[in-house]
Amino acid sequence: MGSARLYLAVAVGGFRRYASYRVATAAGVFTNTVFGLILVYTYLALWEERPGLGGYDQAQAVTYVWLGQCLYATLAIQGGGAEKDLMERIGTGGIAVDLYRPVDLQLWWLAGDVGRAGFQLLGRGVVPFVFGSLLFPMALPAEAAAWAAFAVTLLLAAVVSFGIRYLAALSVFWLMDGRGIGQVLMITGVFFSGMVLPLNAFPDGLGDVVRVLPWAAQLQVPADVLMGEADVWGAFAFQAAWAVALLAAGRLLQSAATRRVVVQGG
């Protein structure tokens, strides 16, 4: 189990790296809380006009908002997780050093990103969520099983989120610069995850499409699992399928990319 301990150590390192920036964390908590308030009042106005929009009542809509704020940094929905560091390492050529080490590149970055997500959840996500639940009526489950299922769905969401961003980061091997792809990542992440509006509330046609895209696994699926709106095993299967597909694609792209890195900087 030597390698399990290694990747655990990498995850712990990822956690500690983010924990070392306390002011940034505090600023993030403040931002997510303010954004949560703005969105809650917007949603309340919307649900007042359109009760039952997307199959949610007002308490569920409010819960969705605060969960979104909780997971925004946790899942790096607009980017800014491991992929940011990876892009920089590819851009500066530091990635070559990483290849000399007896580690699996993808697992290494996945472990670091899961550690980062763990810190962001505790350090940055929980506070706005608890704040929201104290101020507004929310649709939270009472039974432990639902919370356990939610924990599983969160872990799967973290892997899917990493899978998307890892692919984006590897593109820098060809693009040479991560800024453009970072913008794409931000816009697609925010929109397709349902940060603007729950994917359930999207109109037919577009809604049918966005609900099967991998981004749906980040916020919509965990929200529905938490609020008992989804079949738990179906949700797990959906997330797991995307996780496997994205990681496999990442592996393919990685082997093509590492062949490339060795050509540069001869």
Partner 1 sequence: MRDAFIELDGVEKVFDVWRKTGFMKRERHRVRAVDSLSFTVARGEMVGYIGPNGAGKSTTIKMLTGILTPSGGRLRVAGVDPSRERMRLAHRIGVVFGQRTTLWWDLPLIDSYRLMHRMYRIPAARYRENLERLTELLDLGGLLDVPVRQLSLGQRMRGDIAAALLHDPEVLYLDEPTIGLDVVSRTRVRDFLRRLNAERATTVLLTTHDLRDIEQLCSRVMVIDHGRLVYDGALAGLHEAGESERTLVVDLERELPPIEAPAPARVVRVEGPRQWLAFPASASAAELVAKVAARYPLVDLSVREPDIEAVIARMLGPSGGAPEPPQERAGRTPS
- Binding footprint of partner 1 on the chain (CB under 8 A): 2, 5-6, 9-10, 13, 16-17, 20-21, 92-94, 96-103, 258, 262-263, 265-266
**Can you list the alpha helix ranges (DSSP code H) found in 20-143?**
22-49, 58-74, 82-92, 95-99, 105-119, 126-135
- Classify 215 as helix, strand or coil: helix
Q: In the complex with partner 1, which residue's Cβ is closer, 42 or 255?
A: 255
Q: In the complex with partner 1, which residue's Cβ is closer, 92 or 203?
A: 92
Residue type, 255: S
| Least spacing, CB of residue 112 vs partner 1, in Å | 9
| Least spacing, CB of residue 32 vs partner 1, in Å | 22
Q: In the complex with partner 1, which residue's Cβ is closer, 10 or 121?
A: 10
Residue with tokens 């569920």: 60
Q: Positive or negative, the Cα torsion across 208, 213, 219, 223?
A: positive
**Can you list the alpha helix ranges (DSSP code H) found in 179-265?**
179-192, 206-210, 220-226, 232-261
Nearest to 161 by CA among 213, 97, 108, 196: 213
Any idea how long the chain is? 266
| Least spacing, CB of residue 258 vs partner 1, in Å | 7
Residue 6's alpha-carbon distances to 12, 13, 16, 153, in angstroms, are 10, 10, 15, 24
| Least spacing, CB of residue 16 vs partner 1, in Å | 6
Q: In the complex with partner 1, which residue's Cβ is closer, 49 or 92?
A: 92
Return left, alpha or beta for 52; rule: phi > 0 is left, psi -120 to 50 is alpha, else beta: left
| Least spacing, CB of residue 175 vs partner 1, in Å | 15
| Least spacing, CB of residue 54 vs partner 1, in Å | 40
Residue 80's alpha-carbon distances to 100, 152, 169, 185, in angstroms, are 26, 23, 11, 10
Q: In the complex with partner 1, which residue's Cβ is closer, 20 or 204?
A: 20
| Least spacing, CB of residue 129 vs partner 1, in Å | 26
Q: In the complex with partner 1, which residue's Cβ is closer, 97 or 142?
A: 97
Q: In the complex with partner 1, which residue's Cβ is closer, 101 or 134?
A: 101
